[in-house]
Chain A
Amino acid sequence: GENVEQHPSTLSVQEGDSAVIKCTYSDSASNYFPWYKQELGKGPQLIIDIRSNVGEKKDQRIAVTLNKTAKHFSLHITETQPEDSAVYFCADLNTGTASKLTFGTGTRLQVTL
């Protein structure tokens, strides 16, 4: 993609609450949208992804939604736990022309007890 905007930059929730992180992309040809979780001292870990032919995907407490018309995609984490605390990155990719992931600027999620 060309540019990916991510909000918010920081998010603090209480344990058990839900967290939502939103991204907007600019390249209308983007067709693959992964989310990564990065813990301190580690590399980004792929937690869920979605392709443009799907509107929603869920994996246990994590879900991703995609609105192609608005060029928005969001990460939803339910029943948050302290171990969900990390920096989350969204990204997009146009698999037809290039394989480089364009990343958002990251969201630092803090889950408090």
Chain B
Amino acid sequence: DSGVTQTPKHLITATGQRVTLRCSPRSGDLSVYWYQQSLDQGLQFLIQYYNGEERAKGNILERFSAQQFPDLHSELNLSSLELGDSALYFCASSVGPDQPQHFGDGTRLSIL
């Protein structure tokens, strides 16, 4: 158990809808990262937050947004969903930006 908690584990929805994925980092970790894992793209970095502020951005679509709250949990919002958004979404956390990242077990998103 990495200590990173992601909910829900599975999410099934339709095209055009909006979903929110939630992540609770390990106790004491200030950095939260979001990654997408798909069969054709592998593991891709989406966005990072550190102590509530956005720190780095990857190839995150404009339809996607995230935030980190004062209690350090984070949410990833995906809107106007398309079939191609079906993937595993992982959250990771670390003590600081240059420290080892520990991953949760992910949310499997299926778009029908």
List 17 additional contacts besides A41-B105, A104-B42; criterion CB under 8 Å: A34-B101, A43-B4, A44-B90, A44-B103, A45-B2, A46-B102, A46-B103, A49-B100, A99-B31, A99-B55, A100-B45, A100-B48, A100-B56, A101-B35, A101-B45, A101-B101, A103-B42
CA A103 to CA B35, docked complex, whole Å: 11
For B100, give its contact among A34, A98, A100, A106 (CB under 8 Å).
A34
CA A111 to CA B99, docked complex, whole Å: 31
Q: Which residues of B contact A (CB under 8 A)?
A: 2, 4, 6, 31, 33, 35, 42-45, 48, 50, 55-56, 58, 90, 92, 94, 97-98, 100-106
Q: Which residues of A contact B (CB under 8 A)?
A: 32, 34, 36, 41-46, 49, 89, 93, 95, 98-106
Contact present for B90 and A98 (CB under 8 Å): no
CA A42 to CA B90, docked complex, whole Å: 10
For A98, give its contact among B4, B43, B44, B56 (CB under 8 Å).
B56
Contact present for A100 and B33 (CB under 8 Å): yes
Nearest-neighbour CB distance to chain A for B78, whole angstroms, equals 18
Identify 6 residue pairs between A and B in the complex whose beta-carbon atoms are under 8 Å apart, listed by A's number: A32-B98, A43-B105, A100-B48, A101-B33, A101-B101, A105-B42
CA A34 to CA B100, docked complex, whole Å: 8
Q: A34-B101, A46-B102, A99-B56 are in contact. Are A89 and B43 (CB under 8 A)?
A: yes
Contact present for B97 and A99 (CB under 8 Å): yes
Residue among B43, B45, B55, B98 having the largest count of chain A Cβ atoms under 10 Å: B43
